A = this chain, B = another copy of it.
Amino acid sequence: MLTPRGDDFPRWYQDVVAKAELADNGPVRGTMVIRPYAYAIWERMQAELDRRIKATGAENAYFPLFIPESYLRREAEHVEGFSPELAVVTHGGGKELEEPVVVRPTSETVINSYFAKWVQSYRDLPLLINQWANVVRWELRPRLFLRTTEFLWQEGHTAHATEAEAAAFAERILGEVYEDFMVEVLAIPVLTGRKTARERFAGASNTLTCEAMMGDGKALQMGTSHELGQNFARAFDITFSDETGSQEHVWQTSWGVSTRMVGGLIMCHGDDAGLRLPPALAPTQVVVVLVRAEDGAGEAAATLRDELVAAGVRTSLDDRLGTSFGRRSVEWELKGVPLRVEVGPRELADGVVTLVERHRGTKTAVALAEVVDRVGSSLIEGQRHLLAEATRLREERTVEVATLEEALDAASSGFARLPWAVVGEEGERRLAERGLTVRCLVRADGAGIAATEEDLVAVVARAY
């Protein structure tokens, strides 16, 4: 039904997106329709992220979609980075506009124009704002979820009194919000590190990143957290009077993750039968599948659903007896629901139901009285299993190399690690010619993000 991953990974991805009813192409090139099942996945991502973001003290707000063109031009690197991707509104309300407005590709410029009004004194700092919004970056080679002209995301924007505080906050977001969410909820083992100057966000002084390995060995950037230094503070004149009364520019961060993570989820855990959702994320953790309704099976299935819901498990009941059991099984496999509990009259006569674990592909007869407990432990085990499997794949496909030539070779099917001192800017250009990039710089000892240039190891890969 699906193209096997080994035959053609990109085709397999397209097949999963279409057949699991995740998304459709929009009518305007590069745009996307997020169908209900994928949107439910996105809502679960939002809920888990939003809780972590608010725990840092950040508050949600909403800024306008339309930004005057002149705002973009205020920060030189920023406008250079985003100009080629802008969508421009030239007519509104039946008239040509005096100044064209751009559809936000990101909101640093508009948000910082308000930070300049809101920040007066050190008492107003830190100012920690997040927004959930759509953004538009015109995309020439679109791919559903991974690269779309319009995408959904959250973007955080903060202002601090000192450089050290801003740096610490950018790291906190990367670790406590993004990495924690990706590892604990998505079961995706991400590398955290910083970007080279070449790969930095347009306008940032430092970009931190979470990088994941997909099922084909390629890298996906899952989220970034930037130190903006005082670049935007100067461009938008965001100043505060410190405790001595002197006027200072603020130090800033911005950070975001997007619907691209849905693509990462598919490509990290999916197999030849479709999606595999980590239980902590899955909108439906368990589907109780009624095989046939005879001999009280219908009532037993409904009761089981109620018991699981009462136990706090996100459960649905599939009693579509008009559709064949085989077809329904294929559908739940495709959609990657972690557990199926199959309830049929024959097994019920023996006091058992069948528990199917999507992450292992195992089927086990479980006594009816033990199902709720067993589901609980199986969900926990499934979560661990997916994380362990993805970690193992990444380790198998990561090679330590010593030279750029070796990296060019090794990174064609996985991650190559080598001293950053061996790569350098000239090395990055050579990698780029072969379609490779330094995904992130990590510490050789693996302990945290900050590091001197000499300590750094470059992780090189082909990337989405």
Contact = CB atoms under 8 A, between A and B. Distances in A.
A164 interface: no
Interface stretch (A61-69, A202-210, A250-258, A302-310): A61-69
A65 B110 contact: no
Interface in A1-58: 24, 26-28, 31-36, 39-40, 42-43
Interface stretch (A133-141, A172-180, A265-273, A429-437): A133-141
Interface string A307-347: 00000000000000010000000000000000000000000
Interface stretch (A79-87, A222-230, A377-385, A389-397): A79-87
Interface string A71-92: 1000000000001111111111
B68 A28 contact: yes
Contacts of A31: 64-66
A113 interface: yes
Nearest to A91: B88
A59 interface: yes
B64 A27 contact: yes
Given A90-B90, A92-B87, A93-B84, A65 B136 contact: yes
Nearest to A138: B93
Nearest to A111: B33
B66 A39 contact: no
Given A64-B150, A94-B83, A103-B103, A27 B113 contact: yes
A371 interface: no
B93 A85 contact: yes
A152 B62 contact: yes
A92 B138 contact: yes
A81 to B, nearest CB: 13
Contacts of A67: 27-28
Summarize A's interface: helix, strand, loop or mixed: mixed
A213 interface: no
Instruction: Say how many copies of this protein the assembly contains.
Output: 2
A101 interface: yes
B66 A36 contact: no
A317 B88 CA distance: 45
B59 A36 contact: yes
Contact of A35 (B26, B61, B123, B138): B61
Contacts of A62: 33-34, 39, 42, 152
Contacts of A93: 84-87, 138-140
A384 B160 CA distance: 43
B150 A27 contact: no
A28 B66 contact: yes
Nearest to A128: B36
A55 B28 CA distance: 33
Contacts of A114: 24, 33
Nearest to A25: B64
Contacts of A88: 89-92
Chain A interface: which size bin? 35 or more
B34 A61 contact: yes
A60 interface: yes
Contacts of A26: 63-64, 66, 110
Residue among A24, A87, A136 with the most chain B CB within 10 A?
A87
A356 interface: no
Contacts of A64: 26-28, 31-33, 150
Contacts of A89: 87-90, 103
A186 interface: no
Given A91-B90, A113-B27, A39 B60 contact: yes
Interface of A: 24, 26-28, 31-36, 39-40, 42-43, 59-68, 71, 83-94, 100-101, 103, 110, 113-114, 117, 123, 129, 133-134, 136, 138-140, 149-150, 152, 322
18 contacts: A26-B63, A26-B64, A27-B68, A27-B71, A28-B66, A31-B66, A33-B63, A33-B64, A36-B60, A64-B150, A66-B136, A85-B93, A86-B94, A88-B89, A88-B92, A90-B91, A91-B100, A94-B138
Q: 3 closest Cβ contacts across the A-B interface?
A: A93-B138, A36-B59, A31-B64
Given A84-B93, A93-B139, A134-B134, 15 more contacts: A26-B63, A27-B110, A34-B63, A36-B59, A36-B129, A39-B59, A39-B61, A40-B59, A42-B62, A65-B103, A65-B150, A66-B87, A83-B94, A87-B89, A93-B138
